[in-house]
Amino acid sequence: MHEKLILVHSNFQTPFFLDYTLKLKIFDDYAVLESLNRYFLKKKICSKIASAGDLLFLDIDCNVEDIEEVIQMKRGPAGRLSGELEQIWHNYRTVRRELHIPRGKLILRTGFPLLMGILNITPDSFYDGGRFFDKDRAIEHAFQLQEEGADIIDIGGQSTRPGSTQISAEEEIDRVIPVLMNLKGKLRIPVSIDTYYAKVARIALENGAELINDNSALTMDKEEMLKVVTDFNVPVVLMHYHKTLQPMQTEPEYKDVLYEIACWLKERAHVLTSNKIAAQRIILDPGIGFGKLLENNVEIFYKLDALRSLGFPILVGPSRKSFIGAINKELSPQDRLSGTIASCIVSLLKGAMIIRVHDVKKIKDALEVVSAILSGT
């Protein structure tokens, strides 16, 4: 028996309307799937039992009315599904969330994602490595990102690109803390610290950071990072990666990439909530490019809205990554802006609430046009 998990995603490419065809996936043991399949077919709803390796699931094409009808069923095969589907459907349809930070709150909405501007204080990041390694240039760029329209600035001192070398917490502190100290109290927007080291996160939060972006999803420093999140009561981004961060796995294997990402992120979020960290402080990131092949990244974008079923805001970070180059045949990250903009537009359409980017102004301009067109204003 597999863990029961329901994922909903839309075949129609916008979260602004609810009268579209949906794909519903239910993962469970075969007897339950067979019973539910008979129920849906009796209702003339297209469904089939499918598999990916030994992973069984029920794949359903339906519409809003179908789901809401099943939610009302309290007896029979659908009765086992009704309560959980009701919560999943509520999660999927939620279009506004509040993210509380020390200085107030950030409003997160589908259709109007916040932009997290990237500030890498590293010599070896894949796109901007070395450009802001100097403290003064890093400080200047932080203010530039703010003026370009960033809603959050994500500061990191360690590259996690394929082939990068892991550095110590002490070296990371030497890179990021002087910059944070010079920005403290001077920016209008919050700063996120991009680290998997609890020691770095703690000192960064003491020096003005208001969010933690842990691309290990609290698996690298585990108990210590949990204590930091609890002590400072700040939001935390949990990012999915495949088996190892450094060295990053370059030939990963998935049976069903969205299912496996969803299960992993759900489990990581449960670790936090079971340690009395409020669900309202958790953000999920599918980890574009972190141990994913081109086809995995494409499928993640196509079904990105399925992760909304888990009930947490979704952050996505496509900026200038290699999957764009693989599609456009652009070897250099310098030539991947147009693909990045396209990826950000898809992220907006699929309901991402935060998008992490290098090119804040250009992407903000593009997303404002898309949002205005879709909302009719």
In this predicted model, what pLDDT tens digit does every residue of 260-299 receive, in sequence order? 999 999 999 999 999 999 999 999 999 999 999 999 999 9
pTM above 0.85, yes or no: yes
Q: Which two tokens stand for residue 28?
A: 């469970």
Give the count of beta carbons closer than 10 Å to the beta carbon of residue 44.
7
> What is residue 280's three-state secondary structure?
helix
Q: What does the alpha-carbon distance between residue 196 and residue 51 come to, in Å, rounded to a whole number?
A: 35
Contact call for residues 217 and 265 (beta carbons, < 8 A): yes
- Per the listing, tokens 């509380």 go with 100
**pLDDT classification of 17: cutoffs 50, 70, 90:** very low
Q: What does the alpha-carbon distance between residue 245 and residue 102 come to, in Å, rounded to a whole number?
A: 30
Virtual CA dihedral for 135, 138, 144, 149, nearest 10 degrees?
-140
Q: What does the alpha-carbon distance between residue 238 and residue 82 come to, in Å, rounded to a whole number?
A: 29
CA 127 to chain centre: 20
- Residue 161: the pLDDT is 67
Nearest to 367 by CA among 16, 94, 114: 114
Residues designated catalytic: 321, 356
Q: What does the alpha-carbon distance between residue 360 and residue 147 come to, in Å, rounded to a whole number?
A: 9
Greater pLDDT, 279 or 13: 279
Q: What does the alpha-carbon distance between residue 258 and residue 238 come to, in Å, rounded to a whole number?
A: 16
Greater pLDDT, 251 or 3: 251
Residues 6+ apart with CB under 8 A from 278: none
Q: How would you classify the pairing of strands 152-156 and 114-120?
A: parallel
Q: Which two tokens stand for residue 139?
A: 């400080």
Domains (ranges, CATH) in the chain?
5-93 (3.10.28), 96-375 (3.20.20.20)
Element spanning 181, H or E: helix 169-183
Contact call for residues 358 and 324 (beta carbons, < 8 A): no
Give the chain's mean pLDDT: 91
Question: Mean pLDDT across the stretch 209-231?
Answer: 96
- Per the listing, tokens 């939060």 go with 205
Q: What does the alpha-carbon distance between residue 120 and residue 309 come to, in Å, rounded to a whole number?
A: 32
Residue 228 has pLDDT above 90, yes or no: yes
Nearest to 358 by CA among 131, 180, 184: 131
- Residue 1: the pLDDT is 40
Q: What does the alpha-carbon distance between residue 89 and residue 93 come to, in Å, rounded to a whole number?
A: 6
Nearest to 151 by CA among 103, 193, 114, 180: 114
Residue 174 has pLDDT above 50, yes or no: yes
DSSP characters over 290-311: SS--HHHHHHHHHTGGGGGGGS
- Residue 162: the pLDDT is 64
